[in-house]
Chains A and B, each alone.
Chain A
Amino acid sequence: MAVSDTIAFDPLASGGAARRTRAMFVVYGLLALFAAYYLLPLGVIVLNSFRDLDEISRGGLIGFPRSFSMQYWQTAWSTFCVQAMCKGIAPFFFNSLWMTIPATIISTAIGAINGYALSAWRFRGSEPLFAFMTLGVFLPGQMVLLPWAFTLGALGLTNTIAGLILIHCVQGLAFTTLFCRNYYVNIPDALIKAARIDGAGFWRIFRKIVLPLSPPILIVTVIWQFTGIWNDFLFGIVFSSGDHQPVTAALIALTAGQTSVRRYNVEAAAVLIGALPPLLIYLFGGRYFMRGLTQGAVK
């Protein structure tokens, strides 16, 4: 399965050598400039997470560390006081992990099955149903806060990780179904028909034919869901409190209601820890992410 049969257009290949060199300088110069611009805030935070508090308060937030210490990461992770607890952000980090991993897996799995059913087993009304499901993509989270409050209350899941998992699974279905269905419509109908004549049923066709073709879209969906759920702030802050909060909500609590001196270095380290998992997912899966989004893939 070739990724691409066409040779990419190379804008630099037109014109003479001098023009090419000039163009290269302009292009890479601009790219470097933008990259620096976007990366600057991250750079400041990273540097501050290693700087002494005195140094920050005297020299300001922007500056190279004159002292270097890893201890602020240590503090942020395990001993810093968030609200009444002095266990650092580690418990909240794990809350997020225990919320994000199951919610990602479940919503992706159901999305794949939905997409498969909606593309390979069309039934009367399957298209309107699909359109209806994808409506969820456009609904802002604030709109569903009240219904979810009722639902969680009725299920007895208020202020639990399980409640947040449920919310993220359901809220994510619109996206995962959309992704998978649009990928699976490219699987030729004849494959499914051939398998049916070969005696395979709904699940066997899914397992043996559709799933093996799915890695690109599953990776896309997992990355999308993982980042989205990990970074979610709204549902976390509204439906959890105390030691049940995910890390995004806890990070706000970290800075809110503090009477003493702000510890910028620890806060910086905490923020970075909170941002790390999606970053890692992106680093490892980003290659597939781009490929999965752009590729029709099945031939």
Chain B
Amino acid sequence: MASLVIRDLSKRFGSVEVLKNVNLEANAGEFIALVGPSGCGKSTLLAMLAGLESVTSGRIEIGGRIVNDVAPKDRDIAMVFQSYALYPTMTVRENITFGMESRRVPKAEQNEAVARVASLLQIGELLGRRPAQLSGGQRQRVAMGRALVRDPALFLFDEPLSNLDAKLRVEMRTEIKKLHQRVKKTTIYVTHDQVEAMTLASRVAVLHKGVLQQFDRPRVVYDRPANRFVAGFMGSPSMNFIPGELVEEGGKPCIALPGNGSPAAVLPLATSVTNSARKIVLGVRPEHMVRDTGGGTKPGYGRMDATVEVVEPTGAETMVVMRVGAQEITARFEADSVPAVGEKVRVNVDMNKACLFDPDSEKLLG
């Protein structure tokens, strides 16, 4: 059963349309990540789910009930804020019980709930402290505790990890995933970090300029991005987009990459695509290129010659920026097959994993 349904949801601030006909649904226990660059409307969408922003048109259903005009407190939701929004003058315990106090939950029940959440998040020894006396990670836990204690129908997370330093962020990410696997509550998680979205979510919704670009499982969003925006946003370093032309070589469909006079490279396509124009954009992820060390080109791979311009070691692997014709391409190489700057290398491209985009509509082809 769907615990959240969003139908044709739009939001307008004056003449600015921040959300355009968004359609989403979350099944019970699902973890949905709303991801997109800043200003894409993801936080507005979350605020609308929480009831903190009004709905211009469309409808929101939580647990089968239309909540468009229901007050935040009556929506059966809990929210974790980017800034944690812990009440600064209250102790951790008071922060956690504030919502129950507001709802006049009996004291005994409150204590029970606090104990449950405290052991779940291991914040038992922090209950008497104030937010100012907590570290960033501890505040994060308390903020989650405040949400968890309500046992709501829907959890809303608004970029909860973006105020933490890099190391802690990765730790907390794992914690959130563990937590979700344990409590199995439907969760809507807003983030601008595509890694968070990929690692946490059961399904990812990519938003751009108020329009839902794609809503699917992380693997699908990554491997078969619906359009150039999604392809470029998911994954780091970003997918390479190489404009080319559809040609035929030996009776097989190929893409020719522009060069000086003659094509810089001609790569075989895995599937034939029919595009009205002959122009096309090839999308290749950095990890789908390998250096040809003399073993020949495997079937399904294309071959191109490139000049190395920049080498960026990251430890486990090395990013190599190369030039093919007029095009700059970033590849991710194993640390032991790294070429030198200026070296001419032969690169094999896994064409089965490449994506083809229409240069005008920017949509995925084939």
Write the residues of chain A forming the contact surface with B, with a CB cutoff of 8 angstroms: 1, 188, 190-191, 193-200, 204, 208-209, 212-213, 298-299
Closest residue of B by beta carbon distance from A211: B89
Give the distance to chain A from B77, nearest Cβ to Cβ, in Å: 7
* Chain B residues with CB under 8 A of A208: 87, 90, 98
* Chain A residues with CB under 8 A of B71: 196
* Chain B residues with CB under 8 A of A196: 52, 71-73
B259 in contact (CB, < 8 A): no
Is A198 within 8 A of B88, CB to CB? Answer: no
Residue of A199, A212, A299 touching B73 (CB-CB under 8 A): A199
Interface size class of B (residues with CB under 8 A): 20 to 34
Is A213 within 8 A of B77, CB to CB? Answer: no
Give the distance to chain A from B87, nearest Cβ to Cβ, in Å: 6
Is A298 within 8 A of B88, CB to CB? Answer: yes
* Chain B residues with CB under 8 A of A209: 87, 89
Given A1-B132, A188-B83: A200 and B98 within 8 A (CB)? yes
B182 in contact (CB, < 8 A): no
Is B88 within 8 A of A197, CB to CB? Answer: no
CA distance A188 to B51 in the complex (A): 18
* Chain A residues with CB under 8 A of B72: 193, 196-197
Closest residue of A by beta carbon distance from B94: A208
Is A198 within 8 A of B98, CB to CB? Answer: yes
Give the distance to chain B from A185, nearest Cβ to Cβ, in Å: 15
CA distance A213 to B83 in the complex (A): 17
* Chain A residues with CB under 8 A of B79: 193-194, 197
B206 in contact (CB, < 8 A): no
* B129-160 to A contact mask, C-beta < 8 Å, 1/0: 00010000000000000100000000000000
B361 in contact (CB, < 8 A): no
CA distance A213 to B77 in the complex (A): 27
Give the distance to chain A from B352, nearest Cβ to Cβ, in Å: 46
Q: Interface centre among B51, B71, B102, B132, by most A CB within 10 Å?
A: B102
CA distance A212 to B77 in the complex (A): 26
Residue of A1, A190, A199 touching B85 (CB-CB under 8 A): A190
Give the distance to chain B from A35, nearest Cβ to Cβ, in Å: 38
* Chain B residues with CB under 8 A of A298: 88
Given A196-B52, A198-B98, A208-B98: A191 and B73 within 8 A (CB)? no
Is B88 within 8 A of A193, CB to CB? Answer: no
B78-94 residues with Cβ-Cβ distance < 8 A to A are: 78-79, 81-85, 87-90
Give the distance to chain A from B195, nearest Cβ to Cβ, in Å: 24
Is B89 within 8 A of A191, CB to CB? Answer: no
Residue of A193, A198, A200, A299 touching B52 (CB-CB under 8 A): A193
Is A197 within 8 A of B73, CB to CB? Answer: yes
B356 in contact (CB, < 8 A): no
Given A213-B88, A298-B88: A198 and B102 within 8 A (CB)? yes
Give the distance to chain B from A186, nearest Cβ to Cβ, in Å: 12
Closest residue of A by beta carbon distance from B81: A190
B167 in contact (CB, < 8 A): no
* 9 additional A-B residue pairs with CB within 8 Å, beyond A197-B50, A198-B98: A190-B81, A190-B85, A196-B72, A197-B78, A198-B102, A198-B146, A204-B102, A212-B90, A299-B132
